[in-house]
Chain A
Amino acid sequence: MDYRAEPATLAHDGSWPGFLCACAEALNASEPVPRVVDADAPVGLFESRIAVARDDGRAAALWDRLTIKAGAPAMRIVLEAFLSERPDARADTASVLRRLRREGAAALRDLADPIVLSVDKAATRARREAERTTGIARFSELADGSWYAPLEPGCDVLPLVADHFAARFRPMRFALHDLRRGRAVLHEPGRPWLLTDGFSLKRVEPDEDAGPGAIDSAMLASDELRIRDLWRRYFAATAIEGRLNPGLQAAHIPKKYWKLLTEMRRG
């Protein structure tokens, strides 16, 4: 039975717990299994859509049950696939959970199954983006001694990178801001990090030309611009003239990421 042909759908609110609740509902349903969709997606002509309410307790219970069955590494892949935001990745992830519940982690190794392959590809994409983000996030020191890093990741990577930055910058008070999704990871020394929606940095006077993530210099720590300049100086000095290879450089770090990189921009 191809579940895609079945018009009954379960809609979630787009949040991770909401998604898990819709998955729980789908796991309880008998064949034909209803498809899990985002509430934002347009309703199909013959679709009968049921909205599933977000219930964090229920989501956590499902997560724990599946983790016991499939193990943490497999569930990490599930989370990564969800965060990839690739079209179909969420629906495919929801349907893979059924196999995970039955077969455990082995289900994810069956790359001959197109749904598993799709989940695997989506997860890989998010993982790569997260790895890249750990390298290219750039923090600025603000006048109050806290730190701010704007990001524009293709996937929703904040939950995947927060632990890394919290461990590395343990003594720092910082915000890791996803400009595209308006969310931020907030970290205070000695406390667990927090994910906040609708975050925005209060700017004194937004400068239209400065581009995304730019901060008014009045908000910056007094040394910030000087240190950025030092870094640019270092970066320029470090390329070997006899071996210049801009093609290779752009292959490693696509230009769309350049606008948030201190060394590639001015100011």
Chain B
Amino acid sequence: MLGKGPGMDATGKLSILADAAKYDASCSSSGSARDNTPGGLGNGAVGGICHSWAADGRCVSLLKVLLSNACVYDCAYCVNRRSNDVPRAGFEPEELVRLVIDFYKRNYIEGVFLSSGVLGCPDHTMERMIRVAKTLRVRERWNGYLHLKAIPGSSAELVEEAARWADRVSVNVELPSQASLARVAPDKTPAAIFGVMRALARASGFEPRKVLPAAGTPGRLALPAPTESAAEPAPIYAARLEPPVGRSVMAARKGRPREPGSAILPAGQTTQLVVGASPESDATILTLAENLYLAYDVRRVYYSAFVPAGLDPRVPALPGPPLLREHRLYQADWLFRFYGFRADEILGPDRPNLDADLDPKCAWALRHLDRFPIDVNHADYLELLRVPGIGPRSASRIVKARAGARLMPESLKALGVVMKRAAFFITCSGAVPSLPGSSRRPVPDASYARAALTDGARRALAPLQMEFDWGEP
């Protein structure tokens, strides 16, 4: 059977199973401060620790592997889909435990990110993964960082048990609409995915928000309507949550302190969306992401530029991964979590995709020139956050510094304000800052303003990304 064929030793298995696991974007090992237990090995570091950097520049912190890359499902975007002709391998739970301990003691890794293809049925697969987790925690008394990927469709009890042993559990939504899910990942259902997310939210003490049918939300995005299968748990693809509505992710999170030392799921749940494997717009992706934050208290949504994994007619043959798009989505996501933006402020039905040349905050500011310039000596913290070139850190520094003395344009740079951008949008009690390195007056609707605010992301990332024609009107 799996990996038990002649000649398949740990080295061979590791190559196959690491290779198959590497497309998951999450390298985060932070958010947990698991203490070492008496006589035990290892602990968690709240900030996370990078142990190395791979040739693609990503931080290597976790041993990211699959328990098995054999899978009975057939998701078109995935190398491990059953219809793909690749060598298959699988670890015995005991083999993997050995490997983790061997690597951990050498300080190669901060912990493990364990995932698996579906072996037989979701529950059976979950049970095998839990066996690894439990052996590490109980027998080996290992306290390193453990991230388990839950299998869609596994039972709530198994999800809860996984949550007991792991620092973080995630389940990937991957496809941003129900129609795409049905086409690209036909074995998975919305109920199977969101059911796990609900169970995870509950396990970490968060009562999931009720999801209402999408009907009657004109002006919102045209999302596929939920079908009858949308009983409980309802698919969050429906872009509407039970009131209170209109709160930003940042505001909703305010009352929910994080406890890195907590025993259950200290690092919470996360998920991932694939970008570019299906035709949804950035607006659809961001609205879904916002709903996931609000409904299930997801800690992070990761966006993963689709890397074509062999030919499958259900997904496009992109010339390269859409890295620029991925980058802009991360910037927009940042605006949810730290700047108090809502998805419908960033994009809407009339503007379905993010600007390729501007970061989403600059693009927003240029569309709302009536709200500028703002006076840094009077604007409140949230208003300051809306200014391009001012971030959470410089905004709080401004609030602190102006309590002592009125701020002048010259004092802003030292507070961390990026004047090249901010100059267009602020005054200091009437004094207009000058543009660094330019004799021009900073006028945001001047023809040169857009060029001045353009960042280098397109130049750096776009050569790798080419447009794909979805053949839609």
- Whether A253 contacts B323 by the Cβ 8 Å rule is no
A136→B61 CA distance, assembly (Å): 10
- Whether A233 contacts B14 by the Cβ 8 Å rule is yes
Decide if A262 is an interface residue (CB 8 Å cutoff).
yes
- Whether B52 contacts A253 by the Cβ 8 Å rule is yes
Decide if B368 is an interface residue (CB 8 Å cutoff).
no
Neighbour of B307 across the interface among A138, A242, A252, CB < 8 A: A242
Q: A232-267: which have CB < 8 Å to B?
A: 233-235, 237-240, 242-249, 251-253, 261-263
Decide if B60 is an interface residue (CB 8 Å cutoff).
yes
A231→B45 CA distance, assembly (Å): 22
Q: B261-309: which have CB < 8 Å to A?
A: 307
CB distance from A114 to the nearest CB of B (A): 15
The interface residues of chain B lying within 8 Å CB-to-CB of A204 are none
Neighbour of A147 across the interface among B18, B43, B105, CB < 8 A: B105
A167→B40 CA distance, assembly (Å): 10
A243→B305 CA distance, assembly (Å): 10
B interface SS class: loop
Decide if B331 is an interface residue (CB 8 Å cutoff).
no
Q: B20-64: which have CB < 8 Å to A?
A: 22-23, 36, 39-43, 45, 49-61, 63-64
Show the binding face of B for A, using Cβ within 8 Å.
10-11, 14-15, 18-19, 22-23, 36, 39-43, 45, 49-61, 63-65, 99, 102-103, 105-108, 110, 307, 320-321, 323, 464
Neighbour of A262 across the interface among B40, B59, B106, B320, CB < 8 A: B106
The interface residues of chain B lying within 8 Å CB-to-CB of A252 are 50, 53, 57, 59
Closest 9 CB pairs of A and B: A248-B57, A239-B55, A245-B57, A252-B53, A239-B54, A237-B18, A243-B56, A239-B56, A237-B19
Given A233-B11, A234-B65: 20 more A-B contacts, CB < 8 Å: A134-B45, A135-B50, A139-B105, A139-B107, A141-B105, A167-B43, A168-B36, A168-B41, A170-B40, A227-B102, A233-B14, A233-B15, A234-B15, A235-B60, A240-B22, A243-B307, A245-B56, A247-B57, A249-B57, A263-B108
CB distance from A14 to the nearest CB of B (A): 29
Nearest-CB residue, chain B, relative to A264: B52
A149→B23 CA distance, assembly (Å): 31
- Whether A138 contacts B320 by the Cβ 8 Å rule is no
- Whether A231 contacts B41 by the Cβ 8 Å rule is no
User: How large, as a class, is the contact surface on chain A?
Assistant: 35 or more
A233→B107 CA distance, assembly (Å): 16
- Whether B52 contacts A230 by the Cβ 8 Å rule is no
- Whether A171 contacts B53 by the Cβ 8 Å rule is no
Q: A137-B107, A139-B106 are in contact. Are A244 and B56 (CB under 8 A)?
A: yes
A249→B320 CA distance, assembly (Å): 20
The interface residues of chain A lying within 8 Å CB-to-CB of B60 are 235, 238
Nearest-CB residue, chain A, relative to B57: A248
- Whether A263 contacts B52 by the Cβ 8 Å rule is yes
Most-contacted residue by chain B among A230, A247, A249 (CB, 10 A): A230
- Whether B40 contacts A240 by the Cβ 8 Å rule is no
**1/0 per position for A114-140, CB-CB distance to B under 8 A?**
000000000000000001001111111
* 21 A-B contacts (beta carbon < 8 Å): A136-B52, A168-B41, A169-B42, A170-B36, A170-B41, A171-B41, A223-B102, A230-B14, A231-B106, A233-B11, A233-B18, A234-B63, A237-B15, A239-B22, A239-B56, A240-B22, A242-B321, A243-B58, A245-B57, A252-B50, A262-B106
Decide if A229 is an interface residue (CB 8 Å cutoff).
yes
- Whether B54 contacts A230 by the Cβ 8 Å rule is no
Q: A138-B107, A139-B107 are in contact. Are A171 and B51 (CB under 8 A)?
A: no
The interface residues of chain A lying within 8 Å CB-to-CB of B103 are 227, 230-231, 234
The interface residues of chain B lying within 8 Å CB-to-CB of A147 are 105
CB distance from A239 to the nearest CB of B (A): 4
- Whether A230 contacts B41 by the Cβ 8 Å rule is no
The interface residues of chain B lying within 8 Å CB-to-CB of A247 are 57
Decide if A62 is an interface residue (CB 8 Å cutoff).
no
- Whether B63 contacts A230 by the Cβ 8 Å rule is no
The interface residues of chain B lying within 8 Å CB-to-CB of A234 are 14-15, 18, 63, 65, 103
A82→B22 CA distance, assembly (Å): 41
Decide if A39 is an interface residue (CB 8 Å cutoff).
no
Neighbour of B49 across the interface among A134, A228, A230, CB < 8 A: A134
A230→B11 CA distance, assembly (Å): 6
Decide if A172 is an interface residue (CB 8 Å cutoff).
yes
- Whether B42 contacts A168 by the Cβ 8 Å rule is yes
- Whether A171 contacts B15 by the Cβ 8 Å rule is no
Neighbour of A167 across the interface among B23, B36, B49, CB < 8 A: B36
CB distance from A247 to the nearest CB of B (A): 8
A240→B22 CA distance, assembly (Å): 7
- Whether A249 contacts B55 by the Cβ 8 Å rule is yes
The interface residues of chain B lying within 8 Å CB-to-CB of A169 are 41-42, 105
A136→B53 CA distance, assembly (Å): 10
A172→B49 CA distance, assembly (Å): 20
Q: A230-B10, A244-B56 are in contact. Are A140 and B106 (CB under 8 A)?
A: yes
Most-contacted residue by chain A among B22, B59, B106 (CB, 10 A): B106
The interface residues of chain A lying within 8 Å CB-to-CB of B307 are 240, 242-243
The interface residues of chain B lying within 8 Å CB-to-CB of A235 are 52, 54, 60
CB distance from A148 to the nearest CB of B (A): 11
A261→B65 CA distance, assembly (Å): 21
- Whether A168 contacts B56 by the Cβ 8 Å rule is no
A141→B323 CA distance, assembly (Å): 41
Nearest-CB residue, chain A, relative to B53: A252
The interface residues of chain A lying within 8 Å CB-to-CB of B14 are 230, 233-234, 237
A261→B53 CA distance, assembly (Å): 11
Nearest-CB residue, chain A, relative to B19: A237
A147→B81 CA distance, assembly (Å): 42
The interface residues of chain B lying within 8 Å CB-to-CB of A248 are 53, 56-57
- Whether A246 contacts B55 by the Cβ 8 Å rule is yes
CB distance from A261 to the nearest CB of B (A): 7
A224→B23 CA distance, assembly (Å): 29
- Whether B52 contacts A135 by the Cβ 8 Å rule is yes
A38→B248 CA distance, assembly (Å): 56
